[in-house]
Each structure stands twice: as C-alpha cells, then as structure tokens.
Chains A and B, each alone.
Chain A
C-alpha cells in the first residue's frame, strides 16, 4: 500500500519532484517575505530612535 503510494506506477520520478519544487517555492516565498518584513521593521525602529 505504502509502496504503491510512493511508486505511483513508475510515475514517481515525475510526480514527487513536481510537488517538492512547488513546496520549495511556497516555503521560500514565505520565509523570504517574513525575513524582509522583520528587517524593515527593525530598520524603522532604529531610525525612529535616531530621529527622536
């Protein structure tokens, strides 16, 4: 049963890379956006401190 799920009648070498690539892109987009957001917030805080 599990073997059949992973093997997918021999199409596994096409199916799994498609899903891995998709989730790599989704995860990359999430982490990059969160990182840039945090970086910008930190920068704003620093500048506001300097300005006050």
Chain B
C-alpha cells in the first residue's frame, strides 16, 4: 500500500479526492460532537459538568498516541525501504502529534484540578504522556539538527522507532499501576462502560479529530513535496548559472 502510494503523482491524485471528504467529515462531526457534548449530554453523577472536558481530552489523547504510531510506522518504512515519502509523512506528523499531546496534558490538567484537587501529579498515565510529548520534541529537534537533511531523517527515525515502547505503557499504565487517572472505559475487551448518551459525542469528536488530523497531514505532505520540487529547481538554476559563467 505504502509502496504503491510512494509515487508523489499518485499520492497527489488520490489525496486530491480524499481531502475535501476529510474536511467535510471533520467539520460535520466536530459541530455535532460540540452540540451533543456541551448541550445535549447529561452531566456525570460524580463529576458533574466537568465530565464535558472528556470530549476534547480523550480525542486529543487518542490522536497523540495514534499519530505516534503513524510516525513510528513511517519511520520504519523510511529506515527499511528508504521511501522519501515516508520521511515527509513523519516530518509532517510529528509537529501535529506534539501539539495534540500538549493539548492532552493541558486539558487533563484542567480536568484534574476540580476532580483530584491538583493540576499535576507524577502519575503513570500523566508521566507516560509527558514522555510521549518529549519523544515528539526529540524527533522534531533531531530531524532538523543536521546540515544534511538525510542525516537528520535517519537519526530521528531511529528515535521514533525506539519511542514506540512508550505506547503500550500509556495504554496499560492505568491497569499496571495504581494511579489517580481513571481506568479505560472505552477500549475494553468487554465493551465500553460509558453511557450511550456520553459515548455518542465522544465518538463523534474522535472521528472529527482524526479526520481533521488526516486532512492537515496530507496538506503538509503535499507542501513538503512542493518544497522538494523547489529545492530541485533551485539546484538546477544554480547549476545553469555556474555553467553560464564558465
């Protein structure tokens, strides 16, 4: 699949059709999610209205973890098969993942204060999410740290692959350790334990956030493809100039 998509022209042709659908899907689902989440869903019997933070916190957390998985997979494709498009995919995914992990930490903090009485605690779930944010930052810094872009891409890809160990830790931290963070109520073997009226806006927001992130990543990959074309043209123009001088 990735090999087939690795052709930039084919990638552009396919994504040109997908992009408007993704944008429309994200707009519709986020607007509906906001309506149900803020207005039409009940308050929690323990947490009251504070539960409404869940409708932005959980989708951000899922996206932050999901995007890291995408980053790691495209890094593997880059390291093993040397696909340039895989590198562009990783470079486009990392800043978005970093922002969503930061958003997860911030909204979690805003949820934690009224529920736990503290903005931050060195709890396994919170700490592993902070580490995920640092992995994203590490990837961004390392990929731009070298004079030759290819060196940065290789080193950052290795870091991204190493960081994949953090994903199961994030997921199972609430089961492995006694934490302040509540256990998983959505992705469970025996089905979600969340009420249907709350599940609807949550699922809508998750779909909305995922469609939005996909739209932005595709747009950024396309931009990076254009930038590559520009670099090639600049090189060609410089070579022409040099040969004219000679």
Which residue numbers of A lie inside 8 Å of B, CB to CB?
5, 8-9, 11, 14-15, 17-19, 21-22, 25-26, 28-30, 33-34, 36-37, 40-41, 43-44, 47-48, 50-51
Within 8 Å CB of B11, what residues of A? none
Offer 27 A-B interface pairs, CB within 8 angstroms, sorted by A. Answer: A14-B111, A14-B114, A15-B50, A18-B56, A18-B57, A18-B111, A19-B56, A21-B107, A22-B103, A25-B100, A25-B103, A28-B99, A30-B216, A33-B220, A33-B223, A34-B219, A36-B220, A37-B223, A40-B226, A40-B230, A44-B226, A44-B233, A47-B230, A47-B233, A47-B234, A47-B237, A51-B233
* Assembly CA distance A22 to B100 (angstroms): 9
Task: Specify which of B49, B57, B234 lies most central, judged by the most chain A CB atoms within 10 Å of its CB.
Answer: B49
Residue of B nearest to A29 (CB): B216
Q: Is B110 an interface residue (CB 8 A)?
A: yes
Bound-complex Cα distance A34 to B219 (A): 8
Q: Knowing A14-B110, A18-B57, A40-B230, say if A9 contacts B99 (CB, 8 Å).
A: no
Contact of B53 among A18, A34, A37, A48 (CB under 8 A): A18
Binding site for A on B (CB under 8 A): 38-39, 43, 48-50, 52-53, 56-57, 60, 96, 99-100, 103, 106-107, 110-111, 113-114, 212, 216, 219-220, 222-223, 226-227, 229-230, 233-234, 236-237
- Interface pair B43/A14, CB less than 8 Å apart: no
Question: What's the least CB distance linking A3 to chain B, in Å?
Answer: 13
Residue of B nearest to A26 (CB): B212
Q: Is the CB of A15 within 8 A of B49?
A: yes
* Chain B nearest CB, measured from A48 CB (Å): 7
Contact of A18 among B100, B107, B223 (CB under 8 A): B107
Question: For residue A34, which residue of chain B has the nearest CB?
Answer: B219
Distance of A44 from chain B, by nearest CB (Å): 5
A11 with B99: CB separation less than 8 A:
no
By the criterion CB–CB under 8 Å, are A37 and B52 in contact?
no
A21 to B219, CA, bound (A): 22
Quick one: given A11-B49, A29-B216, A36-B223, are A44 and B229 in contact (CB under 8 Å)?
yes
Chain A residues near B106: list those with CB within 8 A: 18, 21
Q: How far is the CA of A48 from the CA of B226 in the complex (A)?
A: 12
